[in-house]
Structure 1
């Protein structure tokens, strides 16, 4: 039986069922919907991974791929709290949801008519990255939550979110050459901002790997001074916020398209909220709950940054003629 012979309820009377199976008969709108769902679930599992750590559940399942040496699912164990085991195993189960959404994106990209190879390449990054994440998660457990392996686990999630957002942005565009919708220097400023946020995330994992919430009493920590890395992190925050304000101001004074101005404003608001959370957790001696909220804020800052930089350019359909104007000129990818 051929793949095309498979029949799924894409014309079901229930709207929810139609959306769930829309990957089989995709449209541009449903393709974007699955890409956005991928952004959400990858951000979600990043935050739940932080919840595993701050609740001390990092070794709730002390082995991998099994939860315990003799079972793939949680079973009563005298040396392990059932709560920590449930928290860690629950996070493992979420991987299957993320993988399912990733495969839905791949199938949507394969069956979209006409097929667009850039979308398919971006979609294929998801299952590949998720499988890598699962295998790396096993290394995290086997290394007893070594801060380096935990940090890489988070950073790969950040990279996956970027790939998912790229799929979302590209699925709403054509496949023609990149065309900027703002001044060239403003777009360059957007690229500098992305680089600064990446550095900020790297500094954040240093603070996390040095701080008190290791995920388990057996876990090691980076041999760094927590005050020094926290100050470094704060200094980079000031830089990122300054660049964000500069970008928002530049977009405003040049009367750039409204979506770009709105995206920059949202980024500023998210950053300010994240700053409030960061200083609050610092003065309250880093409570576990606020650490989890701070990781959520970091993920939202990253997504908001990606939204800003993709709003500074677009692509026309291949069949459409290029539009020549002082602010909309062809730009290199």
Structure 2
């Protein structure tokens, strides 16, 4: 019997590559998980800006007596369809996450580090789904909505870790740049996370609540928007400093490319942020800004994972010249 992994179609072989995985297949599924997790953050933003947060007024059912959308006298059909569509995306994310688990477990030779990272996905997705019930039950309280987004950010980080490690070995981490540059990269990722949190606070204070009955943070929108912008300036400054330092120290090309890409995404995100602010935060630009924030986070993770590597266990780790010359 011909297996799907032996099918003549490259697309079919890729779809079933989790069953007879190569290291490249595991890495490919991990990248797919990064993409679909970024996608669900954007679909969640669409739910919010269209006022569809309670389009399905119950959880886990869409309506009190149905798991799928049915006519409801108090809910607009379009809002219900948008919210239900977002819930369906969760199943896509789960399918990709489970494919990562199967691929990691069936990889030969098996790498326990990849298996552990892969299992974070279905566990995190289950936590996300359950938290979605809390969001609905609290009528879109901004605290629970904010946590919903931050859980997605954490899950995206786990997916990226799997992607990065799938392309490396299992030896202890080895720096490929000077230790001070690695520390700067770590500070940069922490600053980007603070930027994301500040953006969440702005979102929870602004006009797009997801539904007219949803509460808002009691902060002054001008104040939190300025604070968010100040953190963004700090992040851009740190990114430029790191990119410049990587350039002048002759760091590996992949590290330099990642840093400059992050800077470009940040600058584009800044333009979108200012335009949406001065146009009165239109829904389309808010959605685009959420996509931008997700890309900034992913690119920051990309940068920090290019500053070190893991060699295969059967290869001796070579100490970088810059690191060896550094004072103790």
TM-score (norm 1): 0.96
Q: CA deviation at 1:70?
A: 1.0
Equivalent residue number for residue 82 of structure 1: 77
Which shows bigger deviation, 210-219 or 71-80?
Answer: 71-80
Within the alignment, does 1:59 sit opposite 2:38 as a pair?
no
Within the alignment, does 1:224 sit opposite 2:219 as a pair?
yes
Which consecutive residues of structure 1, in runs of 5 or more, have no partner in the other structure? 1-5
Secondary structure, in 3 states, of the residue corresponding to 1:23?
Answer: coil
Which consecutive residues of structure 2, in runs of 5 or more, have no partner in the other structure? none
Equivalent residue number for residue 290 of structure 1: 285
Question: Could you tell me whether the CA contact under 8 Å between 1:32 and 1:171 is conserved in 2?
Answer: yes
Query: Could you tell me how far apart the structure 2 residues matched to 1:286 and 1:251 are?
Result: 36
Equivalent residue number for residue 101 of structure 2: 106
Secondary structure, in 3 states, of the residue corresponding to 1:314?
Answer: strand
Within the alignment, does 1:314 sit opposite 2:312 as a pair?
no
Question: Could you tell me whether the CA contact under 8 Å between 1:214 and 1:220 is conserved in 2?
Answer: yes
- Superposed CA offset, 1:11-39 (max 9, x none): 11111110010000000000000000000
Question: Could you tell me whether the CA contact under 8 Å between 2:44 and 2:86 is conserved in 1?
Answer: yes
Secondary structure, in 3 states, of the residue corresponding to 2:174?
Answer: strand
Equivalent residue number for residue 234 of structure 2: 239
Q: CA deviation at 1:241?
A: 0.2
Question: Could you tell me whether the CA contact under 8 Å between 1:180 and 1:327 is conserved in 2?
Answer: no
Q: CA deviation at 1:76?
A: 1.1
- Superposed CA offset, 1:244-278 (max 9, x none): 00000000000111000000110011000000000
Q: CA deviation at 1:79?
A: 1.6
Equivalent residue number for residue 174 of structure 1: 169
Equivalent residue number for residue 42 of structure 1: 37
- The 4+ residue runs of structure 1 with deviation greater than 3 A are none
CA-atom RMSD in angstroms: 1.1
Change (3 A) 1:173 1:328: farther
Q: CA deviation at 1:328?
A: 5.4
Q: CA deviation at 1:8?
A: 4.4
Q: CA deviation at 1:325?
A: 3.5
Count of residues paired in the alignment: 324
Equivalent residue number for residue 151 of structure 1: 146
Query: Could you tell me how far apart the structure 2 residues matched to 1:192 and 1:56 are?
Result: 36
Change (3 A) 1:142 1:178: same
What pairs with 1:200-279 in structure 2 (closer than 5 Å)? 200-279=195-274
Q: CA deviation at 1:288?
A: 1.1
Query: Could you tell me how far apart the structure 2 residues matched to 1:7 and 1:116 are?
Result: 28
